[in-house]
Amino acid sequence: MTVKKTTMIGELVEKYPEAVEVLSDYGMQCIGCRMGMGETIEQGALTHGLSKDDLKELLRKMNEKTGTTKKTKGKEKRAR
């Protein structure tokens, strides 16, 4: 599973508990918020005032932290 802006925060945290650290680094303490657990990463980022560039960086760090990858042309490639 590559972490994308459409990934649900609740699903992400359930599958990758280490994601909480990255979310917290961006001021998103979603684990303690019932509303946040039902939002996408993009919705949570916008709620917390993150820019599109911040969101891209958050996703890059999240994929790095969780070790998730995406497949491109039949090869595995690190998510960016």
pLDDT tens for each residue of 10-29:
999 899 999 999 999 998 87
Close Cβ partners of 10 (under 8 Å, ≥ 6 residues apart): 37, 38
Structural domains in the chain (count): 1
Residue 4 lies in a domain: no
Identify whether the C-beta of residue 19 lies closer than 8 Å to the C-beta of residue 43: no
Residue 3 lies in a domain: no
Q: 0.85 cut: is pTM over it? A: no
Q: What is the average per-residue pLDDT within 57-71?
A: 86
Which residue is listed with tokens 């790095």? 64
Residue 45 lies in a domain: yes
Residue 67 lies in a domain: yes
Structural domain span for residue 74: 9-78
**Mean of per-residue pLDDT scores for the chain:** 84
Residue 52 lies in a domain: yes
